[in-house]
Amino acid sequence: MSTEKLKTMNMKELAASWGIDYQVFQIKKELVESIKDVCEKENISQRKLASMVDGLTQDRVSKIFSGQVGHMTIDKMVEILTALHIKLEVKTKKTKAA
């Protein structure tokens, strides 16, 4: 997919082009923002973060920070949040039918 095409896509179209549900895309985006915020505030490097979670590499953290979370499970993101001592709260809300 060309860079120009990506620039004209909205978030729903982008999620669909990656083959993931838009809600999952939004959840992962919010989790990444939380992870990045804590790391920045607490001066936690990508390498340090990777060492805090079993099976996580600095390369994977780099991909997470750049938004490449298509293959990253929400479970693994929750593990990262737990390692950073971030409490995750989940709320649901009924939406209107399309």
Query: What total of structural domains would you count in the chain?
Result: 1
31 part of a folded domain: yes
7 part of a folded domain: no
In terms of residue numbers, what domain contains 64?
A: 21-83
Q: Does 19 score more than 90 pLDDT?
A: no
Write the Ramachandran bin of 85: left for phi over 0, alpha for psi from -120 to 50, otherwise beta.
left
Provide the whole-model pTM.
0.75
94 part of a folded domain: no
Tell which residue, 79, 49, 76, 78, has the closest CA to residue 61.
Answer: 49
For residue range 24-40, list pLDDT tens digits in order. Answer: 888 888 899 999 999 99
For residue range 58-94, list pLDDT tens digits in order. Answer: 999 999 888 887 778 889 999 999 999 999 888 888 8
pLDDT bucket at 12, cuts 50 / 70 / 90: confident
Q: Does 7 score more than 70 pLDDT?
A: no
Residue 5: the pLDDT is: 53
For residue 1, give both structure tokens. Answer: 């997919």
Q: Does 52 score more than 90 pLDDT?
A: yes
